[in-house]
Amino acid sequence: PPGGATSPQRGLCLLLLLLLLQLPAPSSASETPKGKQKALIRQREVVDLECTFTKMRSNSALRVLFSGSLRLKCRNACCQRWYFTFNGAECSGPLPIEAIIYLDQGSPELNSTINIHRTSSVEGLCEGIGAGLVDVAIWVGTCSDYPKGDASTGWNSVSRIIIEELPK
């Protein structure tokens, strides 16, 4: 994807449940926003999750939320970045939507054995996306100036992307 981020690491996914919820499009800006949810349950290793969304208006914003398990392991200092893309590009209006996990060097023996999976969220608004089909994805990449570690997304838990179209 653009923006200098690396391609995601792809792992073997065992999909037990795929849930899609498509709400009807609002007929005016004062009605309930349009939303969609995609969830993966009990994944062994999910490095990215993507969802196609039909955006009804060119002057609206997309609110996106990833909620799920994240983990980072490494022997030395490392950093990984989870970020959203829209049709393959990071959001530029107003800012990228991202979260990072950083592990300090500490003890190489200890860092390499820590295997804590934490429920985390990545959330934000993206403007300037035209109406029509929008491919929304969460990616895992490296942080600037730091080596990558062993990242895991969605291990043994529900992980979901929620997308809402919000009127301005």
- Residue 159 is predicted with a pLDDT of 86
Boundaries of domain holding 89: 18-166
Task: Specify the DSSP class assigned to residue 113.
Answer: T
Within-domain flag for 80:
yes
Within-domain flag for 13:
no
Residue 52 has pLDDT above 60, yes or no: yes
Say which residue the tokens 């800012």 belong to. Answer: 95
Within-domain flag for 7:
no
Taking the model in full, what pTM does it have? Answer: 0.72
Within-domain flag for 5:
no
Within-domain flag for 12:
no
Within-domain flag for 98:
yes
Residue 156 structure tokens: 């043994």
- 99-156 residue pLDDT tens: 999 988 766 666 666 788 899 999 999 999 999 999 999 999 989 899 988 998 888 8
- Residue 2 is predicted with a pLDDT of 40
Non-local (6+) Cβ contacts of 94 within 8 A are 125, 127
Within-domain flag for 8:
no
Residue 102 backbone phi and psi in degrees, to 5: -120, 135
Contact, 45 vs 151, CB < 8 A? no
Contact, 75 vs 107, CB < 8 A? no
- 5-47 residue pLDDT tens: 333 322 222 221 222 222 233 344 444 556 655 555 433 333 3
Considering only CA atoms, give the Rg of the chain.
Answer: 17
**What CATH number is associated with residue 58?**
2.60.120.760
Provide the domain count of the chain.
Answer: 1
Within-domain flag for 160:
yes
